Structure 1
């Protein structure tokens, strides 16, 4: 039971800080201004880690690699601690691969959450500044689906289809992870 509690607390902390690192990476890539409430929150959570990593991890084009490395290091720490608590010192080589899977899963979960917020804001607060930021972050992922799917009765179904695709991707990722660890 103690292992489950520690695992849960580590997952929540890693998801919050690692997700903020991934959001920072993506917001910088999309050149979303950080003067909005989302941007200020992301900076407040990630500055301590990302600014230290920038001293040794350079950016690659428009990609802030320090944010990506920060998210990966958080996942690596999470899985490393859990591996130690489980007593699995012999096969510690799997931990970096688990961290990669965890990072991809975190990105899928983050985009899923972003799409849900996007859908709710589009129904309730379509003109808010927060809505504009979320729309700008979701638009590149929704664009391919919007080109294929027509509006149905004036309703855009592309977020729903993308949510289904993301859930399928999460299932495939979990299956791939399980098959690799056997």
Structure 2
């Protein structure tokens, strides 16, 4: 009695494709987790940097959150990284170290052959992307709260954060009907800056 021929056969290479797919999904999950974790801490470090540059008070929910998330990393660095005037170098380096740890981990897990110098450069670009995206989020929150809760404590803090960025635009931009369009213009500028950063990072120029 002859064996029945199966309706289909599984190519011998499929097991390897399945393994590659699983590895790819695993790396994507790890990358997502690291992106969220390092983005939270690194973004808080940059917020700390900006708040101290503008000498904003930390006696508020946002300031307390920033301290709680970043003290474990910023305070040890501050022992040998003194501030340069209003520039909190320890917070800036802490943000870069968080991005560096993310990029390095994915470099090791992914088996990349890229030079370590490329990882350092990618980390610097990552911090700049954080700055652009973080400021974009702050501008959006400012625009929303200016309509729904213009007198809230959070609105007062956000307005002090964004005013140095919006004031130069207001000085040259007309306000049709008394409507302030400077947040929209700043968001557009930030989007263009993000595109330019991406182009520079990937050798588009």
**In which range does the TM-score fall when normalised by the shorter chain?**
over 0.9
Alignment length (residue pairs): 181
Aligned equivalents of 1:43, 1:125: Cα separation in 2: 25
> Within the alignment, does 1:129 sit opposite 2:153 as a pair?
yes
Aligned equivalents of 1:160, 1:179: Cα separation in 2: 29
Q: Which runs of 5+ in 2 are unaligned?
A: 1-24
TM-score (norm 2): 0.86
Q: Secondary structure at the match of 2:46?
A: helix
CA offsets, 1:45-94, max 9 Å, x none?
Answer: 11111111101111100111100000000001110001111102552221
Cα shift at 1:153: 1.1
Q: Secondary structure at the match of 2:144?
A: helix
Cα shift at 1:154: 1.4
Cα shift at 1:36: 1.0
Q: 1:37 to 1:179 in 2, by over 3 A?
A: same
1:31-180 equivalences in 2 (<5 Å)? 31-89=55-113, 91-179=115-203
Aligned equivalents of 1:41, 1:2: Cα separation in 2: 31
Are the equivalent residues in 2 in contact too, given 1:83–1:92 (CA < 8 A)? no
Q: Which runs of 5+ in 1 are unaligned?
A: none
Looking at CA atoms only, which structure, 1 or 2, has the larger radius of gyration?
2
TM-score (norm 1): 0.96
Aligned match of 1:26 in 29, 46, 50?
A: 50
Q: Secondary structure at the match of 1:88?
A: coil
Aligned equivalents of 1:70, 1:90: Cα separation in 2: 23
Aligned equivalents of 1:157, 1:90: Cα separation in 2: 44
